[in-house]
Amino acid sequence: MSFSLLFSDELRGFYRSKVMMFLWVGLPLMSLLLQLWQPDPGEDMSFAVLSAILVSSIGGTLAAVMLAVSIINEKNSRAYDLFLIRPIQRWSLVASKFTAVYLCIAIAAGLALLTGMVFDYAVMGGTPDAVLEAVGESLAISLSMMAVASAAGVLIGVVSPSVLLGAILVIYGGNQVSALPMLPSLTGMEHPVAFNIALGAAATAVLLGLAIALFNRKQF
């Protein structure tokens, strides 16, 4: 079974879940309500930027929980015994889950961003260049944070023996790790977006590589 077949199977399972429906529909609506509750909508913060922030924080956490719970449940039900007697590389089992979930939350980020840009256009009568630049930077950082959160969810799912412990580790540990891409911005670095993306990619690669290495060592 190839990576592409595993990926398509995981993608079908995740995008039909209620959690993904919440990400795709609920997050844009939630950020819209938050923006409408402001005294002067569109004045304090671009709605598109607010949407990107919400998706990265809430979406990243939910994606990490989904990945961790999915892997733990499959380990406990010994589902991998059936896979690993076939000619299939173990890394593809882990990578297909990560890629499928990350694609789904990236779509959620795009939908929230599109909703935000439409709202900004309606409120401001257009989309200023400064807003577009801020939206692009926020989206890049959000995608980096969600990638780190998803990789952390995979690693926690591989090492955690129970769903409860996995959820606790994601909420109290994965959230902190996912904030790594924000460090260049918090330090006041000039033009930090490239460093945000590079740090997020490096952290994702390390976490996912560690998860694959540990998964390869497990006895099924």
* Choice between 34 and 174, residue whose per-residue pLDDT is larger: 174
Contacts of 16 (CB under 8 A, 6+ apart): none
Phi, psi of 160 (to 5 degrees): -80, 135
Within 13 Å of residue 205, how many CA atoms lie on the same side as its CB? 6
Structure tokens at 32: 């819209």
Provide, rounded to the nearest whole percent, the portion of the chain with pLDDT above 90.
Answer: 22
pLDDT at 209 > cutoff 70: yes
**By the 8 A CB rule, do 69 and 162 touch?**
no
pLDDT in tens, 60-111: 888 899 899 999 998 888 877 766 666 678 888 899 999 999 998 888 877 7
| CA-CA-CA-CA dihedral for 182, 185, 189, 195, to nearest 10 | 40
Domain span holding position 45: 3-217
Q: How many domains does the chain have?
A: 1
**DSSP-H helix ranges across 56-128:** 60-76, 79-84, 90-124
Closest by CA position to 73, among listed 157, 5, 134: 157
Give the separation between CA 217 and CA 22, rounded to whole angstroms: 35
**Is the dihedral angle over the CA atoms 78, 177, 197, 14 positive or is it negative?**
positive
| CA-CA-CA-CA dihedral for 51, 56, 61, 62, to nearest 10 | 50
Which amino acid, 205? A
Structure tokens at 67: 């990945």
Give the pLDDT score at 7.
87
pLDDT in tens, 126-169: 555 655 666 677 778 888 888 999 999 999 999 999 999 998 99
Structure tokens at 163: 């769903």
pTM: 0.83
**By the 8 A CB rule, do 192 and 184 touch?**
yes
